[in-house]
Amino acid sequence: MSCSVRKDNGVVAEQGGFEEWLQGLRNDYLRLIVFVTEQCNFRCVYCYETFRVGRIRPEVVSGIKRWIGRRMPGLRGVRLSFFGGEPLLYPSVIVELMQAVWAMRREGQVILGDVTTNGYFLGGKLARTLISNGVKGFQIAIDGLASWHNRFRPLRGGQPTFSVVVRNILGLLATDYSFSLVVRFNVCDQNFQSVVRFLERYRWLADPRIAIHFHAVFGHEVWRLCDAGRRLAELRRIAREMGYRVLELGGVCYSCQANVFVVRADGRLQKCTVALDDDRNTVGVVRGDGSICLDQSKMRA
């Protein structure tokens, strides 16, 4: 059920190719990427979300649990990935769904939980609660040193966030919890050198539970990374030379896998977490009774 492999050169590479494509067709595996809420306490300058939808509806939560319950007897593994907005605005939803799936688990079944968060609410008590309920994967973005990060990723009211996010990460690393953390750097021409200086200054990135991922800011006219392929490769080289684990994404995109669905907070089923307003991305709906209605023509597209 692992989605990555460790190489001796310090690179953590996503499994890809024919094997991953086949896994995407398996009936004994189900991954749901759940929008806990489509609201956020941050207002990142490059964000593509519109915040028109709020907290996930109770009937959608019920539908997810019943959907998984119907599928559970034939599954070898379930992965719940919590997304937003900022999913930790409503951590009780995450705990409710994880506990429900664990209660359904049969011997030999693998249950995985992970969350993509801005890290602002990931304090010690909440981190402990999530991990104890099976959420053991985290992704947090940091966009360079404080000046650039605070410019790119402020609170909704414009206040800085860097110190709180870093403090929460350090608190997590100070524990002996078993978890994995992807620290993602969104890179453009303006903050490139700040990202390099962050790598040089914050050596806690070498913790074996951390993998680093570099991604060019996309879809924004101002915050662009010229010659992105070469410059991202340069960052990966620098990070590896510092002894950090580097995550390189590749292979088959999750949106192309038949057994992966994005569940919007209003119950819409989609395949991609980026093209949220593209009608082609909406392939169906999950109902409160756990039944799903799919547009097969879109699923085949």
Q: What is the pLDDT of residue 23?
A: 61
What tokens does 102 get? 């664990």
Q: Which CATH class is domain 11-300?
A: alpha beta
Confidence of residue 298 (pLDDT cuts 50, 70, 90): low
Q: Does residue 33 come out as left (phi exceeding 0), alpha (psi in the -120 to 50 range) or beta? A: beta
**Statement: residue 300 has pLDDT above 80:** no
Q: Could you give the dihedral angle defined by the CA atoms of residues 268, 269, 271 and 275, in that order, rounded to the nearest 10 degrees? A: 0
Q: Could you give the dihedral angle defined by the CA atoms of residues 151, 152, 156 and 161, in that order, rounded to the nearest 10 degrees? A: -70
Q: What is the pLDDT of residue 43?
A: 97
Confidence of residue 36 (pLDDT cuts 50, 70, 90): very high
Cis, peptide link before residue 85, omega less than 30° from 0: yes
Provide CB contacts within 8 A for 30, sequence distance 6+: 68, 71, 75, 77, 78, 79, 259
Report yes or no: 136 and 182 within 8 Å, Cβ to Cβ.
no
Q: What is the pLDDT of residue 254?
A: 65
Confidence of residue 7 (pLDDT cuts 50, 70, 90): very low
230-266 residue pLDDT tens: 999 999 999 999 999 999 876 557 667 778 999 999 9
Q: Which residue has the higher pLDDT, 112 or 300?
A: 112
% the chain with pLDDT above 70: 88
Residue located via tokens 């870093």: 166
Lowest mean pLDDT, pick from 52-66, 146-160, 280-294: 280-294
Rounded mean pLDDT of 170-186? 97
Count of Cβ atoms closer than 10 Å to residue 73 Cβ: 9
**Statement: residue 22 has pLDDT above 60:** no
Q: What is the pLDDT of residue 273?
A: 82
Q: What is the pLDDT of residue 271?
A: 86
Rounded mean pLDDT of 256-282? 86
CA angle in degrees (0–180, nearest 5) for 60-92-41: 90
Closest by CA to 214, choosing from 244, 190, 194, 184, is: 184
Report yes or no: 143 and 189 within 8 Å, Cβ to Cβ.
no
| Domain ranges across the chain | 11-300
Q: What is the pLDDT of residue 4?
A: 45
% the chain with pLDDT above 90: 76
What is the overall mean pLDDT for the chain?
Answer: 90
Q: How far apart are CA 170 and CA 181, in angstroms?
A: 12
Q: What is the pLDDT of residue 25?
A: 60
Q: Could you give the dihedral angle defined by the CA atoms of residues 183, 86, 283 and 81, in that order, rounded to the nearest 10 degrees? A: 50
Q: How far apart are CA 100 and CA 290, in angstroms?
A: 14
Count of Cβ atoms closer than 10 Å to residue 177 Cβ: 14
**Statement: residue 41 has pLDDT above 90:** yes
Rounded mean pLDDT of 210-226? 92
Q: What is the pLDDT of residue 161?
A: 98
Q: What is the pLDDT of residue 2?
A: 39
127-147 residue pLDDT tens: 999 999 999 999 999 999 999
Q: What is the pLDDT of residue 220?
A: 81
Q: What is the pLDDT of residue 1?
A: 40
